[in-house]
Structure formats: structure tokens, C-alpha cells
Amino acid sequence: PMKPVQVKLVLLGEAAVGKSSLVQRFVNNEFQENKEPTIGAAFLTQKTYVEDKVIKFEIWDTAGQERFHSLAPMYYRNAQAAVVVYDVTRAPSLDRAKSWIKELQRQANPNIVIALAGNKLDLVNDAEQGLHSEEDGHDEDGHEDGEDMPVTRQVSTEEARIYADEAGLLFFETSAKLDLNVQEMFNEIARKIPIE
């Protein structure tokens, strides 16, 4: 058997957009409804396959809270891949994602493969069919919901796709909760990594 190709991947994005949840889905196929914020960063590994090659992702899941921003360069410095996450129900999180992408394009490895992930797609899929109601009466931030509170999409698929195309990024809308496009995203990144 061939030795796995090691690929260092970093996750970046605003607090609470679901970075850790995407990693937990990809690595352990699990989802936690009320996940604690990451402190500093977490390290995990997971393998995936591209044709006959084994790709071993070495994943740095960074903390989104602003007080940890200064640590980020340590994690993206030698990264070959990055997943920059926003929340489709929160427009400001896309602005934050764009500023991470600018920072990566200025400071990270020039060949870095970057994917933009619009997470929490499950919330707007529900909303598009009518009203969304949370079983536990709390939204994803742990705040009390009104009854049948509709969750509206704040970032259209088209807007994000146009930006991603202009910036040369892979683009996916994902749900860590319902396991939508998570494996697909990591597989597509693996396929795009230049392997000698």
C-alpha cells in the first residue's frame, strides 16, 4: 500500500458558523446541537481517497472569536488547503469570510486550495418550505425562539457563487447538522491539491 499524502488544512471563519461541527461531521460523522466555542485551535486527522491515492488531512480547526485572531497565521502559514466558513443565515459572516480569504491570498502559501463553505443550509431549506420550528425552542446561538420563528437566508447562493468564482475558490453550501455536502467538499479539495 502507498504511503498517505499528508495535506495540512486550516478552517477559518467567524465564531459559531460551524467550523468545528463540519470537522466533527467529516472526522466522526457526528453532530452536536450545542457545541462549545473552540479555544485556540483543535487538531484532528482524517483520510480520504483520490483514485488510488490516500490523502491524510491534518486539520487545524481554529477559534473564530476575535481574541484568537492573532494566532491564525501559525495555523495557515504552511497550509495546503483552507476551508473558510460562513453562515448562510448571517450576512456579516460572509464579510468576515471575505476578509479571511484576502488575508490568505496575501499571506498564505500561493498554491493554497481554498474552499468557501456556506454552512447551516438546513435552516434555510426548512424556511423555504414555510416556517421553521426548532424542536427544542432554541436557535443555533442558544437563544430562545419565538414560536415557529422563520429563519431567513441572508446570503443567496448566487451572490456567494459569483464571489467565489471571482476569487478563484471552490464553493459549497453545507450542513454539518444534516450532513449535506461535507464529504463532497473535502473530497473536492483533495482532488485539487497538487500532488507531485
Binding region for ligand GTP (CB under 6 A): 13, 15-21, 32-35, 37-38, 63-65, 119-120, 122-123, 140, 175-177
Task: Give me the torsion for CA of 56, 191, 85, 64, rounded to 10°.
Answer: 30
Q: How far is the CB of 111 from ligand GTP (least distance, A)?
A: 26
Q: Residue 167, SS3?
A: helix
- Grid coordinates standing for 96? 468576515
Give me the half-sphere count of Cα atoms (radius 13 Å) on the Cβ side of residue 133. Answer: 5
Q: How far is CA 175 from CA 2, 64, 89, 92, in A?
A: 33, 18, 12, 19
Shortest gap between Cβ of 186 and Mg ion (angstroms)? 17
Binders of Mg ion in range 13-72 (CB under 5 A): 19-20, 38
- Which of Mg ion, ligand GTP, none does 32 bind, CB closer than 5 to 8 A by kind? ligand GTP
**Contacted entry of Mg ion, ligand GTP, none for residue 119, CB cut-off 5 to 8 Å set by kind:** ligand GTP
Residue with smaller CB distance to ligand GTP, 32 or 78: 32
Rounded to the nearest 10°, the torsion over CA 99, 193, 186, 57 is -100
Task: Indicate the residue among 17 and 88 with the shorter CB distance to Mg ion.
Answer: 17
Distance, CA of 70 to CA of 194 (rounded, Å) = 29
Q: What angle do CA 147, 180, 122 make, to 5 degrees?
A: 10
Smaller CB separation from Mg ion, 132 or 177: 177
Residue closest to ligand GTP, measured at CB: 64
Residue written as grid cell 461531521: 25
Closer residue to Mg ion in complex, CB, 32/99: 32
Closer residue to Mg ion, CB minimum distance, 59 or 190: 59
119 binding Mg ion? (CB under 5 A):
no
Binding residues vs Mg ion (CB under 5 A) = 19-20, 38
